[in-house]
Structure 1
Amino acid sequence: MRMVMDAWMRTRPDDPSPVLASKRSHAPSKTAMATWNSLNERQQVYLGEIMRDDRMTETEMWMRRVQRLPVPRAVEWRRLPLALKAAPAVVGYTRLQERLRRRGVHDPGAGQTVHALQRRGLLIITEDSVEHPAVGEVGRVLVQLSRRGRAAAHAGLDEPREPDPPTHLLSEWLWGVLARVAAAEPAGLKDDQLAGRSLFFIGVGYRNKAGGQPSRGLVDSVPVMASEGTHVAEYRWRLTQLGRRHVVEYLDIYREVYPSVPTTGIDALAADST
């Protein structure tokens, strides 16, 4: 499938890319179920309500796209506000706190619970500050499900595991490499800043093993001439035509699937292609 999709995009630059079909959802894994069962009741409530709030936020973002409204990056909106560092009597409760209160779980012990989930690798906790009309600038605690936490919540709530990324997409590791090259366009990434096994999967002229399939050919080492044009001054890694189209076509999907991979500066590629 990867070879066919790449060939299509390479030879039909003016045609729309085929729609990617996701793999079917799978039943919860035994590991995810064991992780859920290892949590106490309070931790299970927290993890379940955080997942439900995450899903509601995801629906809201989808509705904004349908209405052609601005949508922040997934790495931003998946950080869900848990609490404001001020008296609730003054600043009120966050939507997530309201969810928990409806389940009979109130604020005392919230910090211990979410940090216990973070130590297990199920949550990511961050902090920032926002302007509140009643108190001005106030600190805020945000929580984000890790992939392991999401799988455990799906298992515990008897829901199917989320489908795997489409076959045509790169792994999180390879997407991170490709995103670095894309962010360095148009100058390119210095030759010594890209090395290792990734080239055997995305570099032009490489194979991942003897007799194996050729790499995807998404990046290439390009000579950069000296200012007087007499010799090659250096080599830089740049996106191939296929690599550029791959990034432009699937940037939004990659951001959804791998929200932790930095993609700052890549949006200019999409703007240049329109």
Structure 2
Amino acid sequence: MSVLTGTRPGMETLADLRFAAGVTTEQAAEHLRQKKIGRELFISASKLRDLERGRRVRGWKWRDPKYTGQLVQNLAYLYKVPVRMVLDAWLRTRPGDQVPAMPHPVLKSPSTSSLKRWEALNDRQRIYLGEIMRDDRMTETEMWMRRVNRLSVPPAAEWRKLPFAIRAPADLVGYTRIQERLRSQGVHDPGAGATLHALARSGLVIVAEDQVEVAGLGLVDRVVVEITRRGRAAARAGLDEPRERGAPPHLLSDWLWRTVLRVVAAGPTGLSENALAGRSLFYLAVGYKPAPDAQPNRGFIESRPVMSEDGSHVLEYRWHLTELGRRHVVEYLDQYRDLYPYVKTDFADGGDPDIATDQ
């Protein structure tokens, strides 16, 4: 649809989303009137057209962020797109509006299936699964600290494979962190293989083997374990540990937020095009998509040309915030500071002057 309408990825409006869904304003209004929010806003096809054209929509509730936030959620369901796409399209279409209020995600209770998986385990299997989950969480924290200190971080597919045992005498190689935690609970190695493979058969962990270099011994076989999503859910349910609260769907993840801040810190001159590389562009930059059939990205940054003095040719391209990107940073800066308190957001030192002034 973006090819037919000429819309660049990351520049979609509310009308573009409706076109892509193959829905008329009359059909959209009929669908929304069946919902509570549609009745409260007295939705009609003409009001939807005014909404899409940036015109004033009659009714005081249309200026209440609580109601427009609910409308954003219902439009996302109707158009079969993520909520963040409708919110971004809303702000592109209606830049003068107050930002719709998006509710924070609610932590859900453990599912019945997760509790049943935990209850099906014996005491030894429960201890193993719990310690594997805690080691996975500890390793995740270590990777986060490496990012904070700008150290290289291997892909998650690598670091989530946790060392469980090294096939060599313990007096030469010692014990892994998981083994140490198990031993502190009085659980020792005999029967470890049977326990791990029982967890693997239940789909709670993945067990594999690789090799590691040990001084004086050379390459030694090692057993690694990786907790699955199902295993993590079962362990949380059984140990009554809440799921970690992630970023709300309309906000950016840690690494994407850091990318946006790099562009902010570059100020009016922008960030060199070569300074940004990797997957972040496919989720943030106008004209990019994560995959040909994937949903468009946020459109928070764009590459702008720097012309020669006589305007005859382009000297280079530099990354800048789009108007939507700047609005997003200004509106949600406080939420990001609460969500990622370890990320520096001091714009007074060479940052974007417009954003610094707004704060």
SS in 1 for 2:222: strand
Structure 2 residues not aligned, in runs of 5+: 1-82, 94-101, 252-278, 283-291, 298-324, 326-359
- Specify which structure has the bigger relative contact order, considering alpha-carbon pairs within 8 angstroms and separated by 6 or more residues: 1
Measure the CA separation in 2 of the matches of 1:110 and 1:55: 21
1:109 maps to a residue whose letter is: G
Return the index of the structure with the highest Cα Rg: 2
Partners of 1:74 and 1:99 lie apart in 2 by 23
SS at match of 2:114: helix
Q: Name which of 134, 145, 150 aligns with 1:63.
A: 145
SS at 2:165's partner residue? strand
**Which residue does the alignment assign to 1:154?**
236
Question: What SS does structure 2 have at the residue aligned with 1:142?
Answer: strand
Which residue identity lines up with residue 44 of structure 1 in the other structure? R
The residue number in structure 2 matching 1:78 is: 160
Whether 2:170 is the aligned partner of 1:88: answer yes
- C-alpha displacement at 1:6, in angstroms? 4.6
Q: Distance in 1 between matches of 2:165 and 2:89?
A: 49
State the match for 1:101 in structure 2. 183
1:27 corresponding residue in structure 2: 109
Mapped partners of 1:138, 1:21: distance in 2? 51
- Separation in 1, partners of 2:127, 2:219: 30
Q: Which has the higher helix share?
A: 2
- Matches of 1:114 and 1:130, distance apart in 2: 20
Moved over 6 A (4+): 8-11
Which residue does the alignment assign to 1:110?
192
CA gap 1:121/1:165 in 2 versus in 1, 3 angstroms: farther
Tell me what 1:41 maps to: 123
Query: Is 1:136 paired with 2:218?
Result: yes
The residue that corresponds to 1:127 in the other structure is 209
Q: CA separation of 1:134/1:67 partners in 2, compared to 1, >3 Å: closer, same or farther?
A: same
- Where 2:150 maps in the other structure, the secondary structure is coil
| Unaligned 5+ runs, structure 1 | 12-19, 170-178, 183-193, 203-215, 219-244, 246-274
Query: How far off its partner does 1:2 sit?
Result: 2.5
SS at match of 2:194: helix
TM-score (norm. length: structure 1): 0.56
TM-superposed deviation, 1:115:
0.5
Cα RMSD (Å) of the superposition? Answer: 3.4
Q: CA deviation at 1:59?
A: 1.1
What letter matches 2:188 in structure 1?
A: H
Helix, strand or coil: the match of 1:62? helix
Offset at residue 149 of structure 1 (A): 0.2
Q: 1:52 aligns with which of 125, 131, 134?
A: 134
Cα pair distance change 1:21/1:149, threshold 3 Å? farther
Structure 1 residue 134 displacement after superposition: 3.1
Q: CA contact under 8 A between 1:28 and 1:159: conserved in structure 2?
A: no
| Change over 3 Å in CA distance of 1:9–1:58 after alignment to 2 | farther
Q: For 1:126, what is the secondary structure of its paired residue?
A: strand
Counterpart AA for 1:47: L
Q: Secondary structure at the match of 1:69?
A: coil
Scaled by the length of structure 2, what TM-score is found?
A: 0.43
CA deviation profile, 1:33-77 (whole Å, cap 9, x unmatched): 111111000000000000111111111111111111111111111
Distance 1:21-1:54 versus aligned 2 partners, 3 A rule:
farther
- Residue in 1 aligned with 2:49? none
How far did 1:119 drift? 0.2
Q: Could you list the per-position Cα deviations for residues 171-209 of structure 1 after superposition, in whole angstroms to 9, with x for gaps in the alignment? A: xxxxxxxx9xx7xxxxxxxxxxx8xxxx4xx3xxxxxxx
Q: 1:26 to 1:93 in 2, by over 3 A?
A: same
Report the Cα offset of residue 165 of structure 1: 7.1
Give distance in 2, aligned partners of 1:108 and 1:21. Answer: 50
Aligned with 1:155: secondary structure? helix
Aligned residues: 177
Mapping 1:159-238, distance limit 5 Å: 159-163=241-245, 166-167=248-249, 199=293, 202=294, 216-217=295-296
- Which runs of structure 2 are paired with 1:247-262 in the superposition (5 Å)? none
Once the 2 structures are TM-superposed, how far is the Cα of residue 168 of structure 1 from its aligned partner? Answer: 5.3
User: Percentage identity across aligned positions?
Assistant: 59
> Secondary structure, in 3 states, of the residue corresponding to 2:107?
coil
